[in-house]
């Protein structure tokens, strides 16, 4: 594997939550590949504020702006280390979450790019502009990793950028999240998270995962088949 230039594999995570009959919250799944939802939450908050300004002001709802400001500052800080710009890589307008990509890009003031807007030159990821090629230091990836680079990943991808994996490998650009991070979405891992938390952190999970059994183990398989 390749260690990310930023030193971190995960920068943005999302969780699917469900509420049981007793009111207790459970984690139904983890989203680490290209998490969606933050932009929709922001847009809904803005719309609610405008439509119900009187009621909203009395409820003392926790603001979301601080989260997005800190996240943007973190991305910009990472880009300074590589001397490039920050951009969101989107699959394009046919993607079901494209609206969110465009909304967040405009809100944060960063570029929204598709794979064909980018090229790799001398091991560096560059964006095509009217004034020539400009370096990209941080790429917030909103497409599945398998489609990111048709040279080294899925050869049938028409939404990726040839050479992107090599640019990441050379450390000239940071991918948010790192390629391969979607592995953590595997639901089979949910059954092991309680023990992982105890072993690595010495504590129980703050939010329990929904009951999950890994059928590669005899006892768990017998329970599922019973």
DSSP, residue by residue, 188-216: GGGGGHHHHHHHHHSS--SSPBPP---TT
Beta bridge partners of 139: 87, 175
DSSP state of 73: H
d(CA 161, CA 163): 6
Supply the range of the domain harboring residue 31: 14-185
- d(CA 192, CA 217) in angstroms, rounded, equals 12
Number of domains in the chain: 1
Q: List the structure tokens of 63.
A: 């603001």
Measured distance CA(40)–CA(20) in Å, rounded: 24
Between CA 196 and CA 218 the distance in angstroms is 20
Give this prediction's pTM: 0.88
At 1 the pLDDT is 66
User: Does residue 193 lie in a domain region?
Assistant: no
Q: Is 187 helix (H, G, I), strand (E, B) or coil?
A: helix
In order, the DSSP letters of 79-137 are HHHHT-EEEEE---TTSTTHHHHHHHHHHHT-EEE-GGGEEEETTEEEEEETTEEEEEE
Pairing of strands 124-129, 118-121: antiparallel
Q: Give pLDDT tens digits along the chain (226 positions).
A: 678 888 889 999 999 999 989 999 999 999 999 999 999 999 998 898 888 888 887 888 888 989 999 999 999 999 987 678 999 999 999 999 999 999 999 999 999 999 999 999 999 999 999 999 999 999 999 999 999 999 999 999 999 999 999 999 999 999 999 999 999 998 888 889 999 999 999 999 999 888 888 888 888 889 889 8
For strands 25-31 and 124-129, give the pairing: unpaired
Q: Are strands 118-121 and 111-113 parallel, antiparallel or unpaired?
A: unpaired
Asked if the structure places residue 47 within a domain, the reply is: yes
Q: Is 26 a domain residue? A: yes
How far is C-alpha 8 from the geometric centre of its chain's CA atoms?
13
Residue 125 resides in a domain? yes
Closest of 145, 177, 137 to residue 161, by C-alpha: 145
Q: Is residue 2 part of a domain?
A: no
pLDDT of residue 5: 83
**pLDDT confidence of residue 27:** 93
Q: Is residue 36 part of a domain?
A: yes
Residue 203 lies in a domain: no
209 domain residue, yes or no: no
At residue 126, φ and ψ (nearest 5 deg) are: -125, 150
Q: How far is the C-alpha of 195 from the C-alpha of 174, rounded, in Å?
A: 31
What CATH number is given to the structural domain containing 52? 3.40.50.11290
């Amino acid at each position: 594997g390749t260690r990310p230039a930023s030193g971190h594999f995960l920068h943005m995570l999302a969780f699917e939550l469900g509420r049981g009959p007793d009111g207790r919250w459970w984690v139904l799944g983890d989203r680490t590949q290209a998490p969606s939802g933050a932009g929709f939450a922001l847009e809904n908050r803005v719309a609610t504020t405008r439509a119900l300004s009187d009621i909203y002001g009395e409820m003392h709802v926790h603001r979301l702006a601080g989260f997005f400001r800190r996240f943007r500052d973190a991305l910009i800080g990472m880009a300074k280390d590589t001397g490039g710009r920050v951009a969101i890589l989107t699959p394009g307008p046919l993607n079901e979450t494209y609206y969110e990509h465009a909304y967040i890009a405009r809100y944060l003031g960063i570029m929204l790019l598709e794979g064909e807007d980018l090229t790799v030159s001398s091991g560096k990821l560059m964006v095509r502009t009217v004034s020539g090629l400009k370096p990209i230091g941080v790429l917030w990836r909103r497409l599945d990793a398998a489609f990111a680079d048709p040279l080294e990943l899925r050869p049938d991808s028409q939404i990726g950028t040839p050479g992107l994996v090599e640019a990441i490998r050379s450390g000239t650009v940071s991918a948010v999240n790192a390629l391969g991070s979607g592995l953590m979405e595997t639901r089979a891992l949910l059954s092991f998270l309680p023990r992982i938390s105890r072993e690595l952190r010495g504590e129980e999970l703050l939010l329990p995962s929904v009951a999950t059994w890994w059928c590669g183990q005899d006892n768990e398989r017998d329970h599922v088949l019973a």
